[in-house]
């Protein structure tokens, strides 16, 4: 069968500030998902949250961008929003940016990551005798948060020794989106290993360029889908882009979990966190973790799934970062966070002007820009008379 995996994710309200959704919201989401499975729209699904974002992961046979599946997720997020509003939670309905999505959640606020592939898990299947994958979800960070770790996992044998094996040695195609191009989804396709430096040149800019998808060059099999999205102009303001999710298939013709996870030991600095406008390290955490760390410390979770012949998920999941092995990295992330916070708003601690997510910061600067005046070098006045307060 042609199987589709979809992650549809939104922040529709949270308790005590932007921390985590309420248990009622999660329960309602799980209930809605159960109904959708009962009706046969979805084969299976898994509901979790990372920080204040609820992620609905599902398997089905309807293909990516399916109107019914997207509409179902939208309606479910609306139900969770109603519960958040009733209980007076913070940011109720925050990511539902349009009145009604036109059959597709892309550009309507929620994050979308989807993969479709042939699913025939039998021992004799040379390409994919078993299907295992990981779901990444990150909160309080920008869309390019996965650029470095996914690049290292899929293109650098220092992290993924598997790339030196015959099954993977042809490398992977990186499809990269220019998120600042608001005309449409502007994508470039570059091949690792030969375009290694060119890919790095783009992916270094986490705020503008993001990995959209990765494809195996050996079998043409899709490996990765990331929710990195272009900016959308909704009601005159540019919105979107943050708290990305990713689907990553692993093992066999793809990197193994340890090869994909080892780059996360860096706790690399990413844009986002407090008011979406700072630079802080990305800390790996178990699923269903609230945001309560140092200055909105960005979080990433990773959950592993296996899929049986009928498209159902394994009865329980592997919560990769819920392990003492990651405690050291969590300590490192917090040390890196404290080091960055030592310099408050100065330089590298905050994002550059155009990336400040709260446009209010830019409004403040723009107000001040009107008060600058050119100093006349011939007079003695240190401050030009025209400069105001």
Q: 44 vs 95, which CB is nearer to ligand 13P?
A: 95
Q: Of the listed pieces 102-110, 126-134, 135-143, 199-207, which binds Mg ion according to CB under 5 A?
A: 135-143
Q: Quick one: 3 or 7, whose CB is closer to ligand 13P? A: 7
Closest C-alpha among 340, 329, 359, 328 to residue 295: 340
Interface with ligand 13P, residue 52, by CB under 6 A? yes
**Shortest approach of Mg ion to residue 380 CB, angstroms?**
53
**Which of 238, 266, 295, 332 is labelled catalytic?**
238
Q: Which residues pair with 248 in a beta bridge?
A: 134, 224
Which residue has 């050291």 as its token pair? 328
On whether the CB atoms of residues 243 and 141 are closer than 8 A, the answer is yes
Q: Coil, strand, or helix at residue 354?
A: helix
Binding mask 73-92 for Mg ion (x = CB under 5 A): ------------------x-
Of the candidates 83, 81, 102, the residue with the CA atom closest to the CA atom of residue 93: 81
Contact 171, 193 (CB under 8 A): yes
Task: Map the footprint of ligand 13P across residues 7-26, applying CB under 6 A.
Answer: 11, 18
Site for ligand 13P in 138-177 (CB under 6 A): 139-140
CA-CA distance, 8 to 57, in Å (whole number)? 7
List C-alpha distances in Å: 355 to 57, 239, 241, 277, 359: 29, 12, 11, 7, 9
- The DSSP 8-state label assigned to residue 319 in this structure reads E
Residue 70: CB minimum distance to Mg ion, A: 20
Q: x/- binding map, residues 6-25, to Mg ion, per CB under 5 A?
A: -----x------x-------
The phi, psi pair for 129, rounded to 5°, reads -70, -20
Site size toward Mg ion, by CB under 5 A: 7
Cα 155 to Cα 164: distance, rounded to the nearest angstrom: 10
Query: Residue 353 catalytic?
Result: no
Q: Does 95 bind Mg ion (CB under 5 A)?
A: no
Considering 11, 52, 195, 273, which one is annotated as catalytic? 11
Angle between helix axes 147-155 and 196-203 (nearest 10 degrees) is 170
Residues 283-302 as x/- pattern, contact with ligand 13P by CB under 6 A: -------------x------
274 binds, among Mg ion, ligand 13P, none (CB under 5 to 8 A by kind): ligand 13P
- Under rule CB under 6 A, how many of the chain's residues touch ligand 13P? 14
Q: Which of 9, 20, 140, 241 is catalytic?
A: 241
- Of 152 and 246, nearer to ligand 13P (C-beta) is 246
Under rule CB under 5 A, which residues in 330-389 are in contact with Mg ion?
Answer: none
> Whole-number minimum distance, CB 95 to ligand 13P, in Å?
8
Instruction: Kindly report the number of other CB atoms within 10 A of residue 306's CB atom.
Output: 16
> CB nearest Mg ion: which residue?
18
The binding track of 241-280 with respect to ligand 13P, each residue x by CB under 6 A or -, is -xx------------------------------xxx----
Task: Label the pairing between strands 2-10 and 53-60.
Answer: antiparallel
Write the burial class of residue 317 (CB in 10 Å: 0-12 exposed, 13-18 middle, 19+ buried). Answer: middle
Has 319 been annotated as catalytic?
no
As a whole number of angstroms, the distance between CA 16 and CA 149 comes to 31
The pair of three-digit structure tokens given for residue 82, joined into one six-digit string = 């109603």
Among 44, 52, 207, 357, binds Mg ion (CB under 5 A): 52
Catalytic site includes residue 52: no
Q: Which is nearer to ligand 13P, 51 or 149 (CB)?
A: 51
CB 90 within 8 A of CB 36: no
Which H helix or E strand runs over 331? Answer: helix 327-341
Judged by beta carbon distances under 5 to 8 A according to partner kind, the member of Mg ion, ligand 13P, none in contact with residue 208 is none
- The option from ligand 13P, Mg ion, none interacting with 193 (CB < 5 to 8 A, set by class) reads none
Contact between 176 and 187 (Cβ < 8 Å) = yes
Q: Which residues bind Mg ion (CB under 5 A)?
A: 11, 18, 52-53, 91, 139, 243
Q: Which residues bind ligand 13P (CB under 6 A)?
A: 11, 18, 51-52, 91, 94, 139-140, 242-243, 274-276, 296
User: Which residues are tagged catalytic?
Assistant: 11, 238, 241
């Amino acid at each position: 069968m042609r199987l589709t995996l979809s992650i549809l994710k939104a922040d529709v309200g949270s308790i005590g500030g932007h921390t985590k959704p309420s248990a009622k919201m999660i329960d309602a989401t799980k209930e809605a998902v159960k109904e959708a499975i009962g009706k046969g729209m979805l084969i299976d699904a898994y509901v979790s949250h990372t920080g204040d974002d609820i992620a609905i992961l599902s398997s089905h046979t309807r293909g990516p961008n399916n109107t019914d599946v997207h509409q179902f997720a939208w309606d479910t997020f609306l139900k969770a929003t109603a519960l958040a509003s009733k209980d007076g939670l913070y940011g109720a309905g925050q990511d539902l940016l349009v009145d009604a999505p036109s059959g597709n959640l892309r550009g309507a606020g929620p994050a979308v990551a989807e993969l479709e592939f042939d699913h025939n898990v039998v021992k004799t299947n040379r390409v994919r005798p078993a299907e295992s994958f990981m779901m990444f979800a990150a909160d309080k960070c920008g869309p390019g948060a996965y650029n470095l770790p996914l690049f290292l996992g899929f293109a650098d044998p220092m992290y993924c020794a598997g790339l030196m094996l015959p099954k993977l040695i042809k490398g992977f195609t990186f499809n990269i989106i220019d998120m600042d191009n608001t005309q449409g989804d502007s994508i470039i396709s570059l091949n690792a290993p030969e375009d290694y430096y060119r890919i790095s040149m783009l992916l270094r800019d986490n705020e503008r360029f993001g990995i959209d998808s990765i494809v195996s060059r050996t079998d043409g099999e899709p490996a990765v889908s990331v929710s990195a999205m272009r900016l959308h102009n909704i009601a005159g303001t540019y919105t979107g882009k943050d708290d990305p999710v990713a689907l990553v298939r692993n093992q066999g013709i793809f990197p193994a979990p340890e090869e994909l996870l080892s780059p996360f030991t860096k706790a690399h600095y990413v844009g986002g966190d407090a008011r979406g406008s700072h630079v802080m390290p990305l800390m790996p955490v178990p699923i269903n973790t609230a945001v309560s760390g140092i200055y909105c410390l960005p979080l990433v979770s990773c959950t592993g799934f296996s899929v049986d012949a009928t498209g159902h998920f394994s009865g329980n999941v592997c919560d990769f970062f819920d392990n003492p092995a990651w405690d050291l990295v969590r300590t490192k992330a917090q040390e890196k966070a404290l080091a960055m916070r030592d310099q408050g708003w100065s330089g590298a601690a905050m994002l550059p002007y155009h990336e400040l997510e709260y446009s209010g910061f830019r409004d403040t600067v723009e107000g001040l820009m009107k008060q600058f005046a050119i100093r006349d070098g011939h007079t003695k006045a240190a401050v030009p008379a025209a400069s105001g307060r």
